[in-house]
Amino acid sequence: MPDVILVVEDDAALLEGLRDMLELAGYQVLTARNGLDALTLLSRQVPDLIVSDINMPRMDGYQFYHQVRAHPDWVSLPFIFLTAKGEKADVRRGKMLGADDYLTKPFDEADLIVAVQAKLNRRAQLLSAQTRQISDLKRTILTTLNHEFRTPLTYISTYADMLRENNLSAEEFRDFMRGIQVGSERLRRLVEDFIFLVELQTGEAQELFERRCAPLPNLPLLLQLALERSRAKAEARQVTLRAEVAEALPGVRADREYLLDAVLRLLDNAIKFSRKTGGQVTLRAEPGGRGVLIHVIDHGIGMPASELDKIFDVFYQIDRAKLEQQGSGSGLAIAQSIAQMHGGALSAQSVPGHGSTFTLSLPSLEPAG
């Protein structure tokens, strides 16, 4: 099917000429005499590109452009201003608004056709890239769900089946219950992470953060709590946890629950990627930058520099086939989002074979003097 062009022009003769010109070039053309009529057309059929005059009755081109860009279904439509206004200030205004091109009358027919085709080609490229991204995301989500949900469900169903057997010893019973607990806990965490990701996308997490955010009276106490909650997982992998927290830290404004969650995720990540035996993870906090720097340091497998730009992407996982323990790949993305909510940032440094350092920076409570 041919691409559809909406032409908005109050001069009847010029409007007919533009329609003939574009139809001869192989396009399907819709026409309107002003912005209001064009909006009515758009509500019935969305074109692939808009060519609009500026000086028009009832609604001029600038007002029409604002209405188009304010509509979520039309915001990405290529938009070309075609007008007798040739002053530099008018051209600058059209471009500052974000119009894709700006042609002045009298115009060369070839210039118009080239501009239209160039914008349509670019839109096709962007739509193709978007489709690929969505397809890749769907594939990643399905792969993650398949692996991450299957594993804990297998724990639960397998041990539940074993519990049906008669003559179990007390030790066997405890082992099977521990297996069910491990599986259910992992499943619970996965569901909570997926819900949190949705809340981040919809803005619900930001709204909750703004309601709960307040001065945090004792950051070292929160960091100590994070270490305590991570200790069992560290011991299971024979990893030692250390704390290096400065005695005096600048005050910060934070959502206590979200900040604790972010630190726990960083510790969990460090424990996962530490050496399986004899590893060490250090939680360090110190004044720095515009406030506080919280470092989580491991001496594990590390990662190449090429991975550092990707590790905060949702569902990104480093060599899943070899590193089965890493989880769904959402932890660092969530931690980064929490850091950004607080007006801070999350960064990483790593050396393959030597370990990684993740740094969560938080602005101080007191404004910089």
Q: How confident is the model at residue 287 (pLDDT cuts 50, 70, 90)?
A: very high
Each residue of 336-363: pLDDT tens digit? 999 999 999 999 999 888 899 999 999 9
Query: Distance (Å, rounded) from C-alpha 331 to C-alpha 348?
Result: 14
Beta bridge partners of 298: 281
Q: State yes or no: pLDDT of 87 exceeds 60.
A: yes
Q: What was the pLDDT predicted at 284?
A: 96
Contact 135, 94 (CB under 8 A): no
pLDDT at 182: 76
Angle between helices 35-44 and 61-70 (to 10 degrees): 30
pLDDT band at 191 (very low <50, low <70, confident <90, very high): confident
Residue 172: the pLDDT is 79
Residue 24 burial (CB count, 10 A): 10
Give the pLDDT confidence of 229-246 residue by residue, as tens digits: 999 989 988 899 999 999
| Least confident residue range of 4-13, 52-61, 81-90 | 81-90
pLDDT of 140 > 70? The answer is no
**Residues 209, 253: Cα–Cα separation, whole Å:** 11
Residue with tokens 């004792």: 218
Residue 86 binned pLDDT confidence (cut-offs 50, 70, 90): low
Averaged pLDDT, 59-66: 91
- pLDDT of 265-286, one tens digit each? 999 999 988 876 678 999 999 9
* 314: pLDDT strictly greater than 70: no
Average pLDDT for residues 134-141, to the nearest whole number? 68
β 49-52/101-104 pair status:
unpaired
Query: Distances from the Cα of 79 to the Cαs of 23, 53, 114, 117, 119, in angstroms?
Result: 18, 11, 14, 12, 8
Q: Give the type of residue at 242.
A: R
Compare 106 and 322 and report the one with higher pLDDT: 106
| pLDDT-based confidence at residue 83 (cuts at 50, 70, 90) | confident
Tell me whether the omega of the peptide bond preceding residue 106 falls within 30 degrees of 0, making it cis.
Answer: yes
- Extract the tokens encoding 255: 């959502």
- Rounded to the nearest integer, the mean pLDDT of the chain is 85
Q: Provide the pLDDT for residue 319.
A: 53
Q: Which of 201, 218, 348, 227 is nearest to 284 (CA)?
A: 227
Measured distance CA(283)–CA(58) in Å, rounded: 64
Q: Answer yes or no: is pLDDT of 8 > 90.
A: yes
**Count of CB atoms situated within 10 Å of the CB of 93:** 16
Q: Given this model, what pLDDT does residue 305 score?
A: 82
**176: CB partners within 8 A, 6+ apart:** 159, 162, 163, 168
What are the tens digits of pLDDT across the range 163-189? 777 677 888 788 878 778 777 877 888
pLDDT value at position 164? 75
Query: What does residue 210 show for φ and ψ, rounded to 5 degrees?
Result: -65, -30
Q: Which domains does the chain possess?
A: 4-107 (3.40.50.2300), 143-202 (1.10.287), 213-363 (3.30.565.10)
Distance (Å, rounded) from C-alpha 296 to C-alpha 244?
10
324, pLDDT greater than 60: no
Can you name the residues that pair with 346 across neighbouring β-strands? 360
Sign of the alpha-carbon dihedral angle for 361, 217, 268, 355 = positive
Three-state secondary structure of the chain? CCCEEEEECCCHHHHHHHHHHHHHCCCEEEEECCHHHHHHHHHHCCCCEEEECCCCCCCCHHHHHHHHHHCCCCCCCCEEEEECCCCHHHHHHHHHHCCCEEEECCCCHHHHHHHHHHHHHHHHHHHHHHHHHHHHHHHHHHHHHHHHHHHHHHHHHHHHHHHCCCCCCHHHHHHHHHHHHHHHHHHHHHHHHHHHHHHHHHCHHHHHHHHHCEEECCHHHHHHHHHHHHHHHHHHCCEEEEEEECCCCCCEEECHHHHHHHHHHHHHHHHHCCCCCCEEEEEEEEEECCEEEEEEEECCCCCCHHHHCCCCCCCCCCCCCCCHHHCCCCHHHHHHHHHHHCCCEEEEEEECCCEEEEEEEEEECCCCC
pLDDT at 85 over 50: yes
The contacts of residue 208 (CB under 8 Å, 6+ apart) are 199, 255
